[in-house]
Amino acid sequence: MKYFLSWVQEFLPGPLPDVDHVVAALEQLGLSVAGLERTQTAFEGVVTAQVENVGNHPNAERLRLATVFDGSHRHQVVCGAVNLAKGQCVALAKIGARLPGEDGKSFVIETRKIRGIESCGMICSARELGLGQDAQGIMVLPQDWVLGRPMQSYIAPDAVIDLELPSNRWDLMSHLGLSRELAIYFWRASSKDHQLSNPVETRQKISISIAENALSACARYEGALLSGIKVGPSSWTVSHRLRALGYPTINNVVDATNYVMLELGQPLHAFDWAKIKGETIQVRWAQTGERLAALNGRSYELGPQDLVIADAERPVALAGIIGGEETKVVETTTDVLIECAWFARSHVRRRSKALGLSTESSQRFERETDVVLLGLAVNRTLEILKETPGVSVRATTSVFPNPPLPVRFELSPDLVSKTLGFSVSNEELFSLLTPLCEETEKFDSGRWLVTPKSWRSDLRLNEDIAEEALRYLGFEKISKHQDDSARIPAITNIPDELQWLEGEQGRSFKELTKARYYGDRLVELFLGDGFDEALNHSMVSGGQIEEICGPQWLANAVQLENPVSADMAFVRPSLSLGLYQNWLRNRRYGKGGTPMFLQELGYVHSWDSSWPSQAPMPGSALHWAAAAWGPFWPLHWKRQEENNFDFWQMTGTLEQSLRRIGAFVSRRKPANPMASWHPHFQIEFCCQGVDIGYVAQIATEESLDHRWDSPLIVAEVNLDRLESLLRGRASVRYAPVPGAELIRRDLSVIIEKSISWGKILKCVQKELGDLLEMAAPLDVYVAPKLGHSKKSVAFRVWLRPPNDAVRVDEINEWLARAGRRLKMDIAAEVRHG
Amino acid sequence: MTESLTFENLESFRAQALNAIEKANTGQKLEKLRINILGRKSSFQSLLSGLSRLSLEQKRAQGPRLNSLRHELEEAIESKRREFSRLTLQIKDDGTNDLTLPGLAAPKGRRHPLSVVGRRILNVFEHLGFRYVEGREIELDENNFTLLNIPEDHPARDLHDTLYIKVPSSGFQVPGPENKTGDVSGSKNFFSNAQLGISRLLLRTHTTPVWVPVMRGAKPPYRVVTMGRVFRSEAVDATHLPGFSQIDAFYVDKSCSMNDLTATLEIWVAELFGPETPVRFRPSYFPFTEPSCEVEIGCFVCLGKGCAACKKTGWIEMLGAGMIHPSVIQRLGHDPDQWRGFAFGLGIERVAMALYGVPDIRFFYENDVEFIRQFPG
């Protein structure tokens, strides 16, 4: 909210220090200064003057020619302002006057020809004088200002401060509120109450009622009826202040309500009494089907959830949010009803959210308003409006059936010191409490009974008072005490039970943390293989899920009720979605030549019933994924061949890495492949028969584009599942290093194409058992001479004999056994290499 | 060496062999020679293995002779080999050997800058005795708000514009006052917010809900730290994203105070940004802490002079902190007269932006390879 420092000053017990000190004080109080605008009188030679005559400019349609009298001389001035009118008192920059320029450099007014007519001076807008942002028209000054006097004698240097307020400090949303804060900070005193005339009491009353069932939403309603109103422009002070703070000036009645709202924090509303039917005001719940044409030009359909202000026939305002168009104050209005009420914040908040309608008024009500302050606010409004002659107060009425009792609580000064970690003396504390509280009663027990002021309803606990002490005393107070008394946590034993607490899905923190640990290990290992770490948004579009994962995934996807945008409407069920988007980006941005190796660690969610979940939560899992595209080896003078990262490099790298973290995996054909997977290049990784992840080539139209000769390969691992499989695994035991040297032999078989390497390997393992250390395929080829259903697989075996004294014929016998087994089990035709 | 080797022509064999070794001019030739002279299939070896068939007397006479010859030949070969090794180093470099040519290595990947910064921050807290626990991204309204002192209609919910989850009504039992199961006819049915109440699901708006399972489940004292994604319904711009990362830590003990909190955070700042970094505390407001404060550090980009990173104030906002609100301690099952706690939280993106001078928060989630590879991950 924006504040005029001079306005705040009106309530203070003494003069404020300079602006810099005030800003520093506000910062210490936790009120961030978002903007500071000094309205310096950075001009010279500007005087008050009267517009005596206005004529048209002969050569320009939009310009006019004014004769202006400064008390001693008359000046002819060319002016373009639309609001220029005869009789106005204006600010005239005479020849030789110095004005602050837009760019910070001042400039001098000279005699100048404008479209052929000489202009001797300039009639200024507030902006041109550096007095505000208003550049809409010239500044119209009060009529009683003496002509020819320098403007400085009327306008003192001032500042407009824009503050970011904490959401619980609704009481600061007014000039009075800020003054209370500064009065305590600088003077340890209360702010001065506004100098007010005695409360206006009239014998005549207006019919105002609050429905019994609406009292919880409207606890108090004050009405004041004025007659003899002449609707017109506001006084100089009111309009100048409103405009400088960025509020429109509408007419003297509406401006007065806005002015009092900014001054005291209480929103008010003015009705044209002539339009109120039945001369009665009812605060009640709306009936289904009732409508209100509101001031913002829109019409709202109301229901029993809407609290309305109604006359005898229809709603005339939405309580605390907006007034009705039909009953608004217009030029012809003579009798005005001023409404000043207290509406429950939760009600206003709910309705304002539901209607998507936020107003100055609703913003204040939904934070809280001071129910005690209403009388003052009404009187202040009447005071401003009665300044115009002929205005009289016809009737006032107050409906306030259940005034709330003041909130009290017991304060222990000791506990305040304990919370802060340093001692605040009782005197210091008491001097702070005096302006904050109606009453502070000290007991012999050392405890105090405190009754905070009505506007500090947020003060309820020792801790609240501790915070106030910190704010007004300053955090420096702590650092002075810190050296001798602060205790800093050191490494200590954490209770073991903490690890076994239930976290997500009823799994302990230890297990969850372990899954993240495995994820971190995988990330580290893949960093070593050239994979950069990526972080993608958790939200994706439905279209992406459907394209990459498939329609079934979309049906189970976790959907947002109020997404930021359509491309962030779902929570990702797989990390591959983000990595695929990254590939599109890295490729589209003209970087076709740059390889992309990315990996990511993050959570995925789904309603899929096969995912472990705890009602009412969707299933969730920590996943790791990687995507690779492009040559693995950089271009190098020693390596000539191109080496695009492919399916096998991914399966190999992942298998090796999983082995490093203790998981030995087998492969199988995926049972539920994703929509975007290449039908031939997809494999599921299993650990103890449970699938923990996959490797697949992505086969979207984009990724299969012939311009990219490199495949896009994606791998993904469910770390939670992996963790559960590795849990409770026996720890690794030492085994003696084998003494005998490895023996290397090559074999070659011709078999049916459908027989996998895995089957060949199994056969050999079965026959040779511990003798077989390792086997690796060397070459797989098909040729017409083999027959169309056959392939040839050459492979190497490494044998580990029991000791070094092994004879060649023994080795040959082992190989022959393996050959016989291959022939028998998979009908292989064996050729020794 | 065509004629077969016997004990008689052994001497000439020796001379020939030594001569051949001497004449060998490459390592390969020498190795071939070694196999020829002493290898398993060599005539010398067969002579050696024939020894066993001889009489004891002959063995005594010829055995040592053969052995010493073998040693002599082996030594000759070995010394020649060493000579070759020495010679290799004496070859003059004629300039073809350009050592500035690039070396060959498989590329190494980089950590994401947010991951680097997050781990650095976490590390300091772990050294201060905070135990890492993992929170969850989808939370109950109750844990995210109500239990943390943010009831429905609390104005603080404005700061946390929340992204809610549609809860399918088929097959789910909703705990809470209105324990209704919705229409089971199709998967497109969802529970309404009113039906769900405090068990409404949302994407957590802060990492603070991790307090709930910890404090409900274990008796203090403890120190806990967590890190993860949080979500707000914010329009995307240079400083706002609907998803970003936070670190949240808290400490509950019999006596702990604002004094301890500020001292702990000063240590944290010194560890992360250097001991000379100025720190200041300012009052602030969070519904779940009282008193609350904000922690700012002297801008490390301009050293307090004022620059774009600190918005010309000389200070960069780092953390929100405070004493855990007594009513939160109570709601989570502990006696607020007995236990006090302090807590703090921070956004990782903000720190990373300041630390590396990244002007736009969106860059972090675009995953442009050339962006990620700029950072010393």
Tens digit of pLDDT for each residue in B157-198?
766 689 999 988 765 544 444 444 444 334 457 777 667 777
Question: Is the CB of B281 less than 8 angstroms away from the CB of A526?
Answer: no
- Give chain A positions within 8 Å (CB) of B132: 513
Amino acid residing at A338:
I
Other Cβ atoms within 10 Å of B103 Cβ, number = 7
Is A167–B155 a contact, with Cβ atoms under 8 angstroms apart?
A: yes
Q: Let me know if residue B94 belongs to a domain.
A: no
Name A199's Cβ contacts closer than 8 Å, sequence gap at least 6. Answer: A375, A379
Q: What is the pLDDT of residue B142?
A: 92
- Chain B contact set for A615 (CB, 8 A): 172-175
Q: Are strands A532-533 and A596-606 parallel, antiparallel or unpaired?
A: parallel
Each residue of A300-351: pLDDT tens digit?
999 999 999 999 999 999 999 999 999 999 999 999 999 999 999 999 998 9
Instruction: For residue B271, give the CATH number of its domain.
Output: 3.30.930.10
d(CA B230, CA B234) in angstroms, rounded, equals: 12
Q: Are residues B131 and B81 in the same domain?
A: no
- Please report whether residue B232 resides in a domain: yes
Contact B109 A638 (CB under 8 A): no
Among A231-240, A570-579, A703-712, B60-69, name the most confident range.
A570-579
Q: Which of B165, B255, B368 sits opposite A585 (nearest CB)?
A: B368
Task: State residue A481's pLDDT score.
Answer: 58
pLDDT tens for A434-493 read: 999 988 888 888 899 999 999 998 899 999 999 999 999 888 777 665 555 566 655 454
Region A14-28 average pLDDT? 88
Residue of A nearest to B187 (CA): A555
Q: Could you tell me which residues come within 8 angstroms of residue A422 by beta carbon, excluding any fewer than 6 positions away?
A: A477, A478, A480, A481, A485, B257, B259
Nearest CA to CA, how far is B188 from chain A (Å)? 9
pLDDT greater than 70 at residue A503:
no
Check pLDDT > 60 for residue A716.
Answer: yes
Q: Look at residue B160 and tell me if it is in a domain.
A: no
Judged by CB atoms closer than 8 Å, whether chains meet at B218 and A495 is answered as: yes
Which of the four pLDDT bands, split at 50, 70 and 90, describes residue B45?
confident
Nearest CA in chain B to A516: B134
Tell me which of A646 and A102 has the higher pLDDT. Answer: A646
Q: Give the domain range for residue B76.
A: 10-85
Per-residue pLDDT for A221 more than 90?
yes
Which residue has better confidence, A286 or B271? A286
Q: Is A497 touching B (CB cutoff 8 A)? A: yes
Q: Quick check: A295 and A283 in contact, CB under 8 A? A: no
Domain A743-832, classified CATH 3.40.50.620, yes or no: no
Contact list in A for residue B261 (CB cut-off 8 A) is 421
Q: Does A618 touch chain B (CB under 8 A)?
A: yes
pLDDT for A98: 86
Residue to test with chain B: of A417, A463, A577, most B Cβ within 10 A: A463
Q: Of B111, B166, B224, which is closest to A560 when you measure between CB atoms?
A: B166
**Contacting residues of B for A561, CB less than 8 Å apart:** 163-166, 190, 193
What local confidence, expressed as pLDDT, does residue B299 receive? 84
pLDDT at B104 over 90: no
**Residue B59 maps to a domain:** yes
- Cross-chain CB nearest to B134 (options A513, A605, A607): A513
Other CB atoms closer than 10 Å to residue B10's CB: what's the count?
Answer: 16
Residue B20 burial by CB count (10 A; 0-12/13-18/19+): exposed, middle or buried? middle
In a domain, B98, yes or no: no
- Fold annotation for A2-39+160-187: Phenylalanyl-tRNA Synthetase; Chain B, domain 1 (3.30.56)
Query: What is the number of domains present in chain B?
Result: 2
Q: Mean pLDDT, to the nearest integer, of A247-269?
A: 94
Q: Which of B246, B356, B247 is nearest to B301 (CA)?
A: B356
Residue A833 has pLDDT above 70, yes or no: no
Same domain, B133 and B277: yes
For the record, the structure tokens of A297 come out as 């030009």
Q: Name the residue among B110, B224, B229 with its Cβ closest to that of A533.
A: B110
B350 within some domain = yes
Asked if the C-beta of A561 comes within 8 angstroms of chain B's C-beta atoms, the answer is yes
Window 153-182 of A, Cβ < 8 Å to B: 166-170
Question: Looking at residue A640, what is its pLDDT?
Answer: 72
Q: How far apart are the C-alpha atoms of B161 and A560, rounded to whole Å?
A: 13
B95-108: average pLDDT: 84
The lowest-confidence range among A34-38, A126-130, A580-584, B312-316 is A126-130
CA distance B214 to B130: 13
Supply the ipTM of this predicted assembly: 0.83
Q: Which of A240, A238, A246, A231 is nearest to A91 (CA)?
A: A240
User: What's residue A198's pLDDT?
Assistant: 59
The yes-or-no verdict on residue B133 having pLDDT over 80 is yes
pLDDT tens digit sequence for B273-298: 888 889 999 999 999 999 999 999 98
A588 touches chain B (CB under 8 A): no
User: A461 at the B interface (CB within 8 A)?
Assistant: yes
% of chain A exceeding 70 in pLDDT: 93
Q: What is the CA radius of gyration of chain A?
A: 41
Q: What residues of B are in contact with residue A527 (Cβ under 8 Å)? A: 108-111, 377
Whether the Cβ atoms of residue A419 and residue A462 lie closer than 8 Å to each other:
yes
pLDDT > 90? residue A832: no
Task: Tell if the CB–CB gap between B293 and A475 is shorter than 8 Å.
Answer: yes
Q: Does the structure show a pLDDT above 90 at B357?
A: no
| Average pLDDT score over chain A | 88
Report the DSSP beta bridge partners of residue A795: A747, A777
At A37, phi and psi to the nearest 5?
-125, 110
* CATH of A44-156 among 3.90.1150.10, 2.40.50.140, 1.10.10.10, 3.10.20.30: 2.40.50.140
* Domain presence at residue B312: yes
**What burial class does residue A489 get, using C-beta atoms within 10 Å of its C-beta: 0-12 exposed, 13-18 middle, 19+ buried?**
buried
- Find the residue in B nearest to A419 (Cα): B257
Q: Is the dihedral of CA B29, B35, B38, B44 positive or negative?
A: negative
Contacts of B172 in chain A (CB under 8 A): 615-616
Chain A positions touching B229 (Cβ under 8 A) are: 538, 602-603
The architecture CATH gives domain A506-726: 2-Layer Sandwich (3.30)
Across A139-264, where does the E strand assignment appear? Answer: 140-141, 158-164, 207-210, 218-227
Q: Tens of pLDDT along A80-103? A: 888 888 888 888 998 888 887 766
Please check whether residues B251 and B314 belong to one and the same domain. Answer: yes
Cβ contacts from A onto B, under 8 A: 309
Would you identify the CATH topology of the domain A207-399?
Phenylalanyl-tRNA Synthetase; Chain B, domain 3 (3.50.40)
* Contact residues, chain A, for B252 at CB < 8 Å: none
Domain ranges of chain A: 2-39+160-187, 44-156, 207-399, 409-456, 506-726, 743-832
State residue B347's pLDDT score. Answer: 94
Chain B residues near residue A555 by CB distance under 8 angstroms: 187
Report pLDDT digits (tens) over A321-334. Answer: 999 999 999 999 99
**Given an 8 Å threshold on Cβ–Cβ distance, is B283 in contact with A632?**
no
**Closest Cα in chain A, distance from residue B190 (Å):** 10
State which H helix or E strand residue B230 sits in.
strand B222-231
